[in-house]
Amino acid sequence: MIKLVAIEPKDDRHLLLRFSDGAWGVYDFSRYLDAQTEMTLPLRDPRFFARCFIEAGALAWPNGFDLSAESLCRRLQETGQLSKDAAAA
């Protein structure tokens, strides 16, 4: 089971995600911010967006919104944005 091991905010819509298998990628969260649901509306505030953290290997925010590492990794891979080389982003 893949887990997140590190996250780094890049701006108000992008996070650098590092996974337990050594893979990494910069994920664009625009689709969630643009959805404007009850859980994603707080993410539109850049200060709140930057308060992300890792909980049990998943990406989470203080309001309870979370995303599994597997789904994030899969989406990065599907869009060709997942890197498995040792170089840091």
**Per-residue pLDDT at 87:** 56
- Is residue 44 classed exposed, middle or buried when 0-12, 13-18 and 19+ CB atoms within 10 A define those classes? middle
pLDDT in tens, 12-37: 999 999 999 999 999 999 999 999 89
Global pTM value: 0.91
More confidently predicted of 17 and 85: 17
User: Could you tell me if 58 and 68 are in contact, meaning their C-beta atoms sit under 8 angstroms apart?
Assistant: yes
**Per-residue pLDDT at 81:** 95
Q: Which of 65, 64, 43, 50 is nearest to 16 (CA)?
A: 50
Domain limits of the chain?
Answer: 4-78
Q: Which of 64, 70, 35 is nearest to 52 (CA)?
A: 64
Considering the domain 4-78, what is its CATH architecture? Answer: 2-Layer Sandwich (3.30)
**Per-residue pLDDT at 71:** 97
